[in-house]
Amino acid sequence: MPEPQKATAPTSALDRYFKISERGSSIAAEFRGGLAAFFAMSYIVVLNPLVIGTGADASERTLGIAPVAAVTALVAGVMTILMGVIAKQPFAMAAGLGVNALLASTIATTPNLTWADIMGLVVLAGLIMTVLVLTGFRTAVFEAVPESLKTAIVVGIGFFISFIGLVDSGIIRRMPDAAGTTVPVTLGAGGHLLGWPTLVFLFGLFFTIALFIRNVKGAILWGVLASTALSLILEAVVPSGSVKKAATGWSLNVPSLADMKFTTPNFSLIGSADLFGAFTHIGPLAASLLVFTILLSVFFDAMGVSVGLAAEAGTMKDGKVEDIDKVLLVDAFGSVVGGGASGSANQIFVESATGIGAGARTGFANIVTGVLFLLAIFISPLVTIVPFEAVAPALVVVGFLMIRQAVNIDWTDWGLGIPAFL
């Protein structure tokens, strides 16, 4: 991380508002930081649609890859700009990987629930969290929770995300037993790593790791692009087809330029959430428990991430994140807007650290990142050709980035270490 410049007197209204000179930064540094943050996070426009856009709900309906891609870029752009303007922190936002995995792999399997019902639950969780912020409750809890537990929450989500990536890539597979259940798991196809899709995943994983080691900006995005290119070549030369036809096939999208349909952005999902549909379809008690589950996930997620980012950016005052109440308010509103657009709850992204490392210190960097996300709306239809094997490495790597924070947990204190482990 570059050393911050010496604080100087503000030179303009923009400088004063974002505290650019006060925090020892410059317009050029903020621009570089915003650009780096976008390249580090832009994979979410590809990844989120494949996580929640392909899974069927109780009515066998999917949200669709292209519509989810469009709202993912739109909401990320809007919320990132809001975070910059209101909280003035270089904390970019997008659809949270922990929450969308929870929605797709767990809540969407609930009988009688539709995606509209599920996104309604996300909105309700966001509204409740907004009230908790406005009343000061969430801020009080934020400051009361020990640092080790805040970090443990981030680490736990990291393990979950990595496991989802390994499952979706086909490295870990469900293995039906005699009773037809899918509880046991196995390695690859019949205990072996076979097939071109597996090769694409392994290539993407090691290529992305190599880019990270060499500090290449946008390593995750380049990894996804390179893996997608390799998958297109392999499918054209040695077709694998779908996993539904062969165990060595592609798990979701079969990569093919012939199947690519480039259309204008599809915003049909905006406003489709049913706020109280779940209460009608599964009952008030079950729906309330699901709202609480989502609320619990998003309530604590910003804790460890914002503290870590603020410490790296130098925006801590007296051991507290500067303007933390505004940070938490925008974070809570991200669930309302994300759920209302059916793109999942939007949260502060740990990849914002890439922008901070490139020089971002203020919310002006978020303006740059947000505008780039809005421009990305117009290329979102391209994600229909990206196979999950090309983006699963991103899940594993992001999981690693979150898990490595375990070193900050005080394992020598049993009163903190044991709760953190659990």
pLDDT confidence of residue 29: 87
Q: Do the beta carbons of residue 89 and residue 360 sit within 8 Å?
A: no
Tell me the residue type at 43: Y
pLDDT in tens, 405-422: 888 888 999 998 998 888
Residues sharing a CB contact under 8 Å with residue 289, sequence separation 6 or more, in sequence order:
none
pLDDT in tens, 269-328: 999 999 999 999 999 999 999 999 999 888 877 777 787 788 778 887 776 788 889 999
Angle between helices 27-41 and 364-376 (to 10 degrees): 40
pLDDT confidence of residue 280: 92
Per-position b or e across 288-312, b if 16+ CB within 10 A of its CB: eebbeebbebbbbbbbbbbbbbbeb
Question: Chain-centre distance of CA 282, in angstroms?
Answer: 28
* pLDDT < 50 regions, the chain: 1-5
pLDDT confidence of residue 351: 79
pLDDT confidence of residue 106: 84
Q: Report d(CA 226, CA 228) in Å as an integer.
A: 5
Q: Report d(CA 13, CA 391) in Å as an integer.
A: 42
Tell me the residue type at 66: A
